[in-house]
Structure 1
Amino acid sequence: MSSGKTIGVPRPAAYTPRIVDRQIEKYLGLFGAVEVSGAKWCGKTWSSLAHAASVTYVDRGANLQIIQADPAYALAGDRPHVIDEWQRVPAIWDTVRHASDELGEAKGAWILTGSSTPNKDKTAHSGAGRIGRVRMHPMTLAETGESSGRVSLAGLFRGEFEPCQCDNGIESLARLAVRGGWPAERTAQPGDAQIVLRDYMESIFIQSIPRLGGNESTARRLALSLARNLGQSTKADTLIRDTYALGSAETTSESQRKEVAGLLDIFTRLFLVDEVPGWVPASRSPKRMRVKPKRYFADPSLPVALLGLSCEALLQDWQSFGLVFENLVMRDLDVYSRALDFGMSSPLRYYRDDSDLEADAIIERPDGNWAAIEIKVSLDKVDEAASQLLRIRKKVCGSAVARVREPAFLAVVTGMGEVAYRRSDGVYVIPIRALGA
């Protein structure tokens, strides 16, 4: 419809149920409105429409001009009513917040979808208590049907596990990483998907970055640096030197620091880059805030696109393959862990101490339960990874002062392997194609 407003929205015909559906449904019963945010093209609108009765597309037809003049126009429609790309008119947020106050005991009137977060000064109120926030990611392997999901993350926390078989193959794993978890591309050939994704990144650099106040060419160089330092707690100086092509003897300037910090914020606001915070066992330890975050892309296919790689190139570059695979696993773990406890905004963390003992992923729960996970592409590193996890458990749980409870489980998530099993030392070995929520 040219107006961009649709009434009587049916469930999308080609819609594949998503793990986040359960959270959206739950939040519609708890809040006056729900915001579903995530990277552009990850499926936010389709998932929102699956729970909706009507929709307003803010960026279609004359809607943008009308809503800029009267934000309340976006709220009109059968409920639950989707307001798609609401961030184009930030005043919608406060309009929805006020309207939610007027609902009384009624809930679930509006669903806001957005692929970026407006500047903080564009909205007057956080929306706390009125607008529930749901974070969405590209599809996991369990959602695309490329993981059996027979090993459940929730089940592991309950102590439930059964050995099982799953698909195997290094070439197929490379294809999954290169293609990514984008709903519209899940049946595409990896090379075709990469053509689309490189164009996707072009539109980000040319349109989205300048719209949010960033410089296109600087953003390109910084994104490439992030891709090269994938999954690392990279120092600001390293990113700045990469971005501005500075030599080791050259001094970074305050203006360069500010520009890189601003662009990192924009990448986060566009949901292109996820920051994974460090984990310190003692929940009130001041060290928790001093551990630099690791950075991953919303989907492993994005660093592949930025670096100009292909399936064949990944298979010939084992180090890059390992980093891209780690990004894939962290994407899936983020989705699965958020499904455990809806109130946890950052359940996924990583561990590294001053002796360089580390775990790629820590899943932390509100009740104090936690689990540690190492990520390895091949099986030949499983013994080393399991040994490291056991050392972490001994170190953080062995202190009577810290009083950290034993982990719910320890696991090595692998790319290769056709069987999920439990080792004699208690560490699980789980191929990613067997893991699910």
Structure 2
Amino acid sequence: MKYLPRSLDRELDDLLPHLSAVAIDGPKGVGKTATAQRRADTVLSLDRTSNVALLESDFDFDSFRGKKLLLDEWQYYPKVWDMVRRAVDQGAPAGSFLLTGSASPYDMAGSHSGAGRVVSLRMRPMGLHERGQTTPTVFLSDLLAGEADISTYRSEYKLADYMEAIVASGFPGLAGFNPRALRAQLEGYLMRVIDRDIPELGAEVRHPLALRKWLAAYAAAESSTTAYSKLLDATTGGDGTQPSEKTTRTYREHLAKLWLLDPVPGWVPALNAFTRLQQSPKHHLADPALAAHLLGLDASALLSDRGSHMAGPLFESLVTLTVRVMAQSLEATVSHLRMNSGAREIDLLVEGHDGQLVAIEVKLKAVPTDRDVRHLLWLKEQLPQRVASLVVITAGDVAYRRPDGVYVIPLALLG
């Protein structure tokens, strides 16, 4: 399978020549191992008992000095984190260690956090710009700098293509499957999480069907700030019973450890010139394809009356995934803004390391109206020195700049 370059490669290019140890975390199937293997001289997969036994013997990292060692699925042997930390303290050269993990470790009791020794990077499923299907012409880095130059660019992507991209998944190993095989793969992925991955974290799943229905309720709340209590109200087991609040809290904790829940936090400005900001997160699963599958929606359903109510939220989820992948490579964070009253909402705020902001609204429509950009313009009025760019990301086919300065950019053109 051909390797598709990832935005994380850019981060690794910047960091590995200077840091002794870098950890890559993210859900199973996002490509952590494939990306790390390209930079490693030796690989130890710690989901193999023979390799764990090797580490528990008289193993000496000094024998690998000058080589790049990949410790894959390190959460199966959390002690290795301390071993790496000590090697860094003892002067391991830059680029010595890569660690990849698909879950937070089972038990970190007695294990050092690694602060100052091991830098952790999040790897998400592929954003649209990483899938080899688009040719970006407008760049988030320029928008953060406030110097994007948009002539009229046109994309070949249409609305139907975006719906296909939502259900196609950003997991690299699922690329190219026909629809039936893809559905089988996604179902198998979810069942592995329920039947194996969560129990491996030490949690008993007494009612697998109730957990799956809770995940479906979470998927139905994609791109919203729906209260967890309402998600619980939508969840019942096959026998009609409802899991307890404590049980669903345990679900959330373990799904978060597996990196499958990826909520967007509410914006917390460093210098809070705002009052009544709501801090509730926007719900997102790691991949919008998982949400679509849980809801039984394919691309044609999203374009029909049966699934059109989810087309907007799932498109926003695809945009959010793509923007987050880009933003991380630029040392930027992503949040959303919502006033407690709901009077002001902005879908995404990208905040650069220097405090500059790109405010983003997400719309399926190709041509946003004045009403669609009013909250963006309000934010610019509040923070004229910090807001570098105002953007509406659409499922249209033309990029342009409105007379009020708001950029309108089809997602397929953003890089």
Q: Is the 8 A contact 1:58 1:83 kept in 2?
A: yes
Aligned to 2:200: 211
Aligned to 1:113: 100
CA deviations over 1:5-46 (Å, ceiling 9, x no partner) = xxxxxxxx7322211112112222232211011110100001
Residue identity in the other structure for 1:79? K
Aligned to 2:246: 258
Q: Is the 8 A contact 1:232 1:294 kept in 2?
A: yes
- Shift in alpha-carbon separation, 1:309–1:108, aligned structure 2, 3 A: same
**1:432 corresponds to which of 407, 411, 414:** 411
Aligned to 2:385: 405
- 1:240 deviation in Å? 2.5
- 1:168 deviation in Å? 2.6
- 1:183 deviation in Å? 1.1
Residue identity in the other structure for 1:129? G
**1:199 corresponds to which of 188, 193, 202:** 188
Aligned to 1:171: 160
**2:115 corresponds to which of 108, 120, 128:** 128
Residue identity in the other structure for 1:93? W
Partner SS for 2:5? coil
Aligned to 2:235: 243
Q: Is the 8 A contact 1:24 1:134 kept in 2?
A: no
- Shift in alpha-carbon separation, 1:96–1:279, aligned structure 2, 3 A: same
- 1:119 deviation in Å? 4.5
Matched ranges for 1:234-383 at <5 A: 234-244=226-236, 256-283=244-271, 291-316=279-304, 317-341=307-331, 347-356=333-342, 357-379=344-366, 381-383=368-370
Aligned length: 403
CA deviations over 1:212-259 (Å, ceiling 9, x no partner) = 2334324323211110111222213112222357xxxx9x9xx93332
Residue identity in the other structure for 1:330? T
Residue identity in the other structure for 2:337? Y
User: Gaps spanning 5+ residues in structure 2: where?
Assistant: none
Q: Is the 8 A contact 1:144 1:181 kept in 2?
A: yes
Partner SS for 1:275? coil
- 1:72 deviation in Å? 4.4
Whether 2:8 is the aligned partner of 1:20: answer: yes
Aligned to 1:220: 212
- 1:290 deviation in Å? 5.9
Partner SS for 2:234? helix
Identity %: 33
Q: Is the 8 A contact 2:278 2:340 kept in 1?
A: no
Q: Distance in 1 between matches of 2:182 and 2:111?
A: 40
Q: Distance in 2 between matches of 1:289 and 1:380?
A: 29
Matched ranges for 1:29-48 at <5 A: 29-48=17-36
- 1:161 deviation in Å? 1.9
- 1:371 deviation in Å? 1.3
- 1:313 deviation in Å? 1.4
Q: Is the 8 A contact 2:106 2:202 kept in 1?
A: no
Q: Is the 8 A contact 1:280 1:287 kept in 2?
A: no
TM-score, normalised with respect to structure 2: 0.90
Q: Is the 8 A contact 1:277 1:349 kept in 2?
A: yes
Q: Distance in 2 between matches of 1:182 and 1:133?
A: 20
Q: Is the 8 A contact 2:359 2:390 kept in 1?
A: yes
Moved more, 15-24 or 118-127: 118-127
TM-score, normalised with respect to structure 1: 0.85
CA deviations over 1:26-69 (Å, ceiling 9, x no partner) = 222232211011110100001001111111111236324544x4
Residue identity in the other structure for 2:199? P
User: Gaps spanning 5+ residues in structure 1: where?
Assistant: 1-12, 398-403
Q: Is the 8 A contact 1:94 1:123 kept in 2?
A: no
- Shift in alpha-carbon separation, 1:284–1:221, aligned structure 2, 3 A: same
Residue identity in the other structure for 2:318? L
**1:153 corresponds to which of 140, 149, 155:** 140
**2:73 corresponds to which of 85, 88, 99:** 85
- Shift in alpha-carbon separation, 1:136–1:26, aligned structure 2, 3 A: same
- Shift in alpha-carbon separation, 1:66–1:285, aligned structure 2, 3 A: farther
